[in-house]
Chains A and B, each alone.
Chain A
């Protein structure tokens, strides 16, 4: 199993550009999520999905869009990049906690994004 994969690892954007961060998992996990990590802020949830076709907003959703057309993929779109979106982005996945709340959440390697 590759686990959770993310591409690209690094990206530099100019203000106003759009781009998509890719995330994929091969563990058949129902739940997938996107976090951003900023100094002194910890991990903050951007968007999440509990299955194909179902997405919802997290704590900091503004400026981001997601969709989930398959169980495996959960891309994050930056609609019009702003310097405030400079951050490290992590994708994560897990089984649903409905059956067993003790399931671990697995993280991808992260994407370091700089917006100038």
Chain B
């Protein structure tokens, strides 16, 4: 994998469903993996920053896991709510500074 790739591109779920997305990235020269939540007409807001293989982070109903050896991270949302509707971005930090972003997964939660 040469770039940061996210799947699926978009997702529609019913309120109360649990869901997950995938972020795939080059495993070489890895420093950190960031997840952002981005609501329409707002700026991206950081959810998690993960650095170690096997890292698991949790914030309320949202959690994330990291596998740096195989180059992927999963974001899970348990019991989706309409307010979870947003685009979820992942970004890989390869060096000390720059982030390379995926194109995002757009989640729509239907009431």
CA distance A33 to B99 in the complex (A): 10
Would B51 and A102 count as touching, CB distance under 8 A? yes
Docked CA distance A33–B89 (Å): 17
Known: A97-B31, A101-B51, A102-B51. A109 touches B43 (CB 8 A): yes
Contact yes or no, B98 A48, CB < 8 A: yes
The residues of B that contact A110 with a CB separation of less than 8 Å are: 43
Min CB–CB distance A72 → chain B (angstroms): 18
Q: Which of B11-19, B74-82, B101-109 makes up part of the contact surface?
A: B101-109
The residue that A108 contacts in the complex, of B43, B93, B95, with Cβ under 8 A, is: B43
Find out whether the CB atom of B98 lies under 8 angstroms from the CB atom of A58. Answer: yes
Tell me the smallest distance from the CB of A16 to a CB of chain B, in Å: 29
- Contact indicator B42/A43 (Cβ below 8 Å): no
Of residues 58 through 90 on chain A, the ones whose CB sits less than 8 Å from some CB of chain B are: 58, 90
What range describes how many residues of B lie at the interface?
A: 20 to 34
The listed residue (B45, B46, B100, B103) touching A41 by CB distance below 8 A is B103
Are A104 and B103 closer than 8 Å at their CB atoms?
no
Closest A residue by C-beta to B32: A101
> Does A42 belong to the interface (CB within 8 Å)?
yes
Q: A90 to chain B: closest CB distance in Å?
A: 6
Judging by beta carbons under 8 Å apart, are B43 and A90 in contact? yes
What are the interface flags for A27-62 relative to B under an 8 Å C-beta threshold, 1 for contact and 0 otherwise? 000010101000011111100101000000010000
Mark B residues whose CB is within 8 Å of A: 31-32, 34, 42-46, 49-51, 89, 91, 93, 95-104
**Chain A interface residues (CB < 8 Å from chain B):** 31, 33, 35, 40-45, 48, 50, 58, 90, 96-98, 101-110
